[in-house]
Structure 1
Amino acid sequence: MNYLDALVMHGPRLWDGLLLTLQLTVVSGLLAFVVAVVLGLMAGSTKLLVRLPARIIIEFFRGTSLLVQLMWLFYVLPLFGPSLGAMLVAIFALTLNYGAYGAEAVRASLTSVPQGQWEATAALSMSWPHKMRRIIFPQAWALMLPSLTNLWVHLLKGSSIVYIIGMSEFTFELLQLRRTTDWLFALAIVGLVVYFIIALVLTQLMRLFEARSKYKLGRGPSLKEILSPVLTNKISPADEPAAVAPGGAR
């Protein structure tokens, strides 16, 4: 089978696998962020009854392999309860696993907010939801975004192991194509390039969010300035050349 025939035959399957990978990355990434915020807030609580359950969940999902979690949820859980579909299992496992890692980033970012900000909210008698929404979380958000971006890229790469529960994502389809051809090197290059492009797009999007959050805090340029295709270099009056008279005098 030549290269063109193989692409025509397996092209739709590769495309479907890529769409599934993107779906898992986006849906699980957004849900993992929600889980990370909730668990991070709970883990940073001063109340033991609130903090302890969050710590247990975080340490359990950080301390066990994503591969093992997928196997338990898909193969073992149905022995004791309802059976979940492969898609739900994949999203559930990716969400909890990377949400647990993200929770530590959220907790650390909240504790990195200057103590004076917390004391100011207490002096103003602000309620907990009000101070988190208006004062604390916007500052912590700018701090946690780089870590959450890294985790989202890791989630993208981690989605490639969901084939063990029967999901035909992009890596699985590449392996299937490898079985019918001898293009090991070419397919490896394709896989590297595709995952790199997706990771690059995710990273750049998250950097825009990071820049926007810093701009709102007065710590950087606006998105309009970052995305502007025209760069204007303003010359200060001190840098302007002095006018020369016709006779040579300045």
Structure 2
Amino acid sequence: MTWTQYLGPLSQGAWVTVQLTFWSTILGAFLSFAAGIGKLSPVRGVRWLSITYIEVFRGTSLLVQLFWLYFALPIMGDAIGINLRLPPVAAGVLALGLNIGAYGAEVVRGAIQAVSKQQYEAAKAMNFTYRHTLWRVALPQAIPEMMPSFSNLAVQNLKDTALASLISLGDLAFKAEQLRNYYQDSTTVYTIVLLMYFGMALVLSVLMRLLEANVGRWRGARR
């Protein structure tokens, strides 16, 4: 089998990887802001819930999180009479999103806290509520500072999708392993896969830089 014949199955796997990356990154971004802002909340319950989520998912292995959601969660559900079985795609998106969200939450928290105290004091002097200070003062200044770190997390998330192949999700890594086992051609298969991951990471980096540039212009327009 020539190397060009590997491209069909690998392209199918790459498309699954792209979808997995997209949806888990969207979920992770939402969780990043929810937990990052929650960690700074004046409400103790919200604050501790956010801290617990961040520490658990930063302090445990992504692979174990993936296995727990796919293998352990259904067993717990059966024990209490609830169907908690997740399709491989759902388990992959959820595990990746929860993991990247925990790391992103610290990026959000750090960027918000990096806003100068004078800005908060000015908002307080104008009788802004906590909510108004957050949305009108802190976040417009903090979001552009988050973008480089979010770009790195997005690329890391793309690479982490390869772990989803271990729950039989037909992504790029899974298709590569199938081809390698069948044709015993590890060098060719994994060289192509290496280049495909690199290409996807390069495209993702460019897209994130464009987003970062647009956010920078948005901040300039607000001044």
Matched, 1:194 2:196: yes
* Cα drift, residue 49 of structure 1: 2.0
- 1:194-213 Cα offsets, whole Å, 9 max, x none, are 11111111111111222222
**One-letter amino acid of the structure 2 residue matched with residue 184 of structure 1:** S
In structure 2, the partner of 1:97 is: 99
The within-5 A match list for 1:72-221 is: 72-81=68-77, 82-218=84-220
Question: Structure 1 residue aligned with 2:25, among 20, 24, 29?
Answer: 29
* Cα drift, residue 73 of structure 1: 1.0
* Cα drift, residue 182 of structure 1: 4.2
In structure 1, the partner of 2:81 is: none
Partner of 1:217, secondary structure, is: helix
41-50 vs 127-136, greater mean Cα deviation = 127-136
In structure 1, the partner of 2:80 is: none
Structure 2 CA distance, aligned partners of 1:63 and 1:163?
22
**One-letter amino acid of the structure 2 residue matched with residue 57 of structure 1:** Y
In structure 1, the partner of 2:13 is: 17
Q: Percent identity?
A: 37
Structure 2 CA distance, aligned partners of 1:94 and 1:122?
38
Structure 2 CA distance, aligned partners of 1:168 and 1:11?
15
Structure 2 CA distance, aligned partners of 1:176 and 1:34?
34
* Cα drift, residue 181 of structure 1: 2.7
Size of the alignment, in residue pairs?
215
Structure 2 residue runs without a partner (length 5+) = 78-83
Partner of 1:180, secondary structure, is: helix
99-108 vs 204-213, greater mean Cα deviation = 204-213
Structure 1 CA distance, aligned partners of 2:8 and 2:211?
33
**One-letter amino acid of the structure 2 residue matched with residue 119 of structure 1:** E
Partner of 1:218, secondary structure, is: helix
RMSD: 1.7
Structure 1 CA distance, aligned partners of 2:89 and 2:176?
20
Structure 1 residue runs without a partner (length 5+) = 220-250
- 1:2-48 Cα offsets, whole Å, 9 max, x none, are 316xx44x543222211100000000001100000000001122432
In structure 2, the partner of 1:227 is: none
Structure 2 CA distance, aligned partners of 1:165 and 1:172?
9
Structure 2 CA distance, aligned partners of 1:180 and 1:166?
16
User: What TM-score, normalized by structure 2, do the two folds share?
Assistant: 0.90
CA contact (8 A) 1:138 1:213 kept: no
Structure 1 CA distance, aligned partners of 2:176 and 2:115?
45
Partner of 1:167, secondary structure, is: coil
